[in-house]
Structure 1
């Protein structure tokens, strides 16, 4: 007899941006959470729900300091470029998911990423938030802030922060692969 936990669909939200660490977090989640988020065709049980969330900062971040544009007067070229970059980001992210045989939905929201991610977690009743870590040092994190650090303290669900792979293990793996 299945427990209630096993029957419940796990809702996983992966916050993505254009950084390599973000894509590493997606791959890590696919490799380690595949059993709880992918459908099981043999048993007929549905898998969990995986959502890839990308947050656009407000347009003010794209504006030169000399000129101030209201959101309605943002040049079309800026809007088009942002849409193209988001489409490319999701194309790459969804290829990772398809390669691991996991279905995912995408969601784009606008605002301050740390606040928007925490709001989405609460509104969507997410069971687990997965987010990459840029690996900022203590000084940079103090001045720039850290989305993952903020979410760890404010998200209303468990959060998994995926750190980037160590350089030494990556370069060793590359050296081993190239010597074969």
Structure 2
């Protein structure tokens, strides 16, 4: 990947991850960068078991945009990119001239996102925040809070936009 920056965006294909992705494209990503979507699936997700055994420690190989639009990738790795996310990254790839890649991990999102930072390695990571209140965050935990405190690269947390 040479001298190009590797900008990571944590995606679970939800509204808040799409907002974080769009924010990253609008504010961080520039021509020539590698935009790497990091998708963490919980263990036990429906997937071809041989893939997780092969890539459990390091995540799957980097998947180019043209391939992760293909239904075979969904079947092979268990990831399900939504049409809105695909549209956002397709526009970024053509308009900003960035290389878009997907990397899938299996396990605890907090730990796997921190591992992705070192494994890929990423220059920065952008992550969405669901906007849980203090009580829910205390009970459920906060992925973004954990990643901010344990990541070895700069992390930007994008808060949800309320209409």
TM-score range, shorter chain: 0.7 to 0.9
1:31 equivalenced with 2:23 (yes/no) = no
Deviations 1:120-165 (A, max 9, x none): 1011121100000010111000000011000000011000101111
2:99 corresponds in structure 1 to 103
Q: Which has the higher helix share?
A: 1
Match of 2:37 among 52, 56, 79: 52
Cα root mean square deviation, aligned: 2.4
2:8 corresponds in structure 1 to 13
Q: Which has the higher strand share?
A: 2
1:150 equivalenced with 2:146 (yes/no) = yes
Deviations 1:21-80 (A, max 9, x none): 100111111111232xx2xxxxxxxx1211001111011x78xxxxxxxx79xxxxxxxx
CA gap 1:94/1:18 in 2 versus in 1, 3 angstroms: closer
- Would you say the 8 A contact 1:52–1:104 is kept in 2? yes
Q: Which has the larger radius of gyration?
A: 1
- Would you say the 8 A contact 1:10–1:48 is kept in 2? yes
TM-score under structure 2 normalisation?
A: 0.72
2:109 corresponds in structure 1 to 113
Q: Unaligned 5+ residue runs, structure 2?
A: 51-73
CA–CA separation in structure 2 for the residues paired with 1:23 and 1:95: 10
CA–CA separation in structure 1 for the residues paired with 2:89 and 2:103: 15
TM-score under structure 1 normalisation?
A: 0.66
- Would you say the 8 A contact 2:125–2:154 is kept in 1? yes
Q: Unaligned 5+ residue runs, structure 1?
A: 1-6, 39-46, 63-70, 73-82, 171-180
- Would you say the 8 A contact 1:97–1:103 is kept in 2? no
CA–CA separation in structure 2 for the residues paired with 1:23 and 1:92: 8
CA–CA separation in structure 1 for the residues paired with 2:21 and 2:105: 18
- Would you say the 8 A contact 2:20–2:127 is kept in 1? yes
Q: How many residues align?
A: 132
